[in-house]
Structure 1
Amino acid sequence: MDVVPSALVVQPGEAAGASLSDGAFELLADGGAVSASRLTLTVGADGAPPHHHRLSHEVFYILDGTMLFRLGDTLTTVGKGGLVIVPPGLVHVFGAADGETADVFVVLSPGIERFSYFELLGAISRGEEEFSSLLPYQDRYDVHLADLPAWRSAHS
């Protein structure tokens, strides 16, 4: 007997959330073919530390506001309606552009269960955990950290 695939439907208000010091995070789907989330950032807030993924492509669709991305050595801004696709291996970092807020839909494929990563990232952003607490989990979450202390001043 063939197995009939089922669809994932997430209704408004059903997504798991994690509070960040500079915004909010909703995890819509975690693992499987994709991981999908929505990230809202306050004015000029960083979205994640500099990193790359060994396995996943990461797709950003800007719902509102303006995002600033460093993609390798290139710094670029992307506004509402813009799309960014980051391939595996490319070091990247992102946040709301200076003086701007941002609302972004993010998809990683293949998906890897990362909700615990985002909870830990939220605790770090609120000063409840040290940044070094992420280091042992880089392989588990396919988030491999990079050292780019002045990422917002990269060459365009």
Structure 2
Amino acid sequence: MKNTEASGQLVLTRHAEAETCADPSSVITLLADSDGTGNGFTSYRSTFAEGAVGAPAHFHTRATELFFVISGSLRVLTGEEVTVLEAGDFLAVPPHTPHAFAAAPGCEADVLFVFTPGMGRFDYLRLLGRVMRGEADAEEIAASAERFDNHYVDSPVWRAALEAGVPNAS
């Protein structure tokens, strides 16, 4: 049941048929990419092992990134603030806002991510998996910044939070 005509985007991804990208710290389940949604959205689900880092500080120029915590706790940087999202919490990060995320210390996290408009992120997520498994060079990630609208930035606040192992409470 998949309708990808421009007039109406019905998308159904069965759990048993969804592609996954796994590394030692997380499993990403690819749900819907922009090419199947008329560029309306991209969505995937990530499950993070206890304390696993999800993404370093970065921003997007074209899409809002939505986070919904299904279970566990997710530590998130937004701008210059670090907070912890708990199960049931929702966060929308607008374009040009530096952000980063990791499972909160001592916690696992299961998170639904949505980008709107869609961004064609699946190839980026596959690349990340290859780099984590040593099958690709990390330089490929830097070289793909424009293609995937993923621009890494330095964040002393995020570095300090990761080094301390505890969130800056908010």
Tell me the TM-score normalized by structure 1.
Answer: 0.91
CA-to-aligned-CA distance 1:91-141 (integer Å, 9 cap, x gap) = 100010011000000000000111111011112223333322211111111
Give, as a single letter, the amino acid of the residue that structure 1 aligns with 2:111.
V
CA-to-aligned-CA distance 1:131-154 (integer Å, 9 cap, x gap) = 222111111111111123762525
Q: Contact (CA 8 Å) 2:80, 2:157: kept in 1 or not?
A: no
The answer as to 2:138 corresponding to 1:131 is yes
The answer as to 2:147 corresponding to 1:140 is yes
Aligned to 1:14: 17
Distance 1:6 1:72, change over 3 A: closer
Q: Contact (CA 8 Å) 1:21, 1:122: kept in 2 or not?
A: no
Ranges in structure 1 where 5+ consecutive residues have no aligned partner: none
> Between Structure 1 and Structure 2, how many residues are aligned?
154
Q: Secondary structure of 2:125's partner? A: helix
Q: Secondary structure of 2:17's partner? A: coil
Q: Distance in 1 between matches of 2:131 and 2:60?
A: 20
Distance 1:6 1:131, change over 3 A: closer
Q: Matched residues, percent identical?
A: 34
Counterpart pick for 1:49 among 41, 52, 56: 56
* Deviation, structure 1 residue 15: 1.6
Tell me the TM-score normalized by structure 2.
Answer: 0.84
Q: Distance in 2 between matches of 1:4 and 1:86?
A: 28
Counterpart pick for 1:93 among 88, 100, 107: 100
Q: Which has the higher contact order (CA 8 A, sep 6+)?
A: 1
More strand by share: 1
Q: Distance in 1 between matches of 2:65 and 2:58?
A: 11
Q: Secondary structure of 1:13's partner? A: helix
Aligned to 1:111: 118
Counterpart pick for 2:72 among 65, 78, 88: 65
Q: Distance in 1 between matches of 2:66 and 2:58?
A: 14
Counterpart pick for 2:91 among 69, 78, 84: 84
Give, as a single letter, the amino acid of the residue that structure 1 aligns with 2:65.
E
Give, as a single letter, the amino acid of the residue that structure 2 aligns with 1:109.
T
Q: Distance in 2 between matches of 1:4 and 1:23?
A: 36
TM-align CA RMSD:
1.8
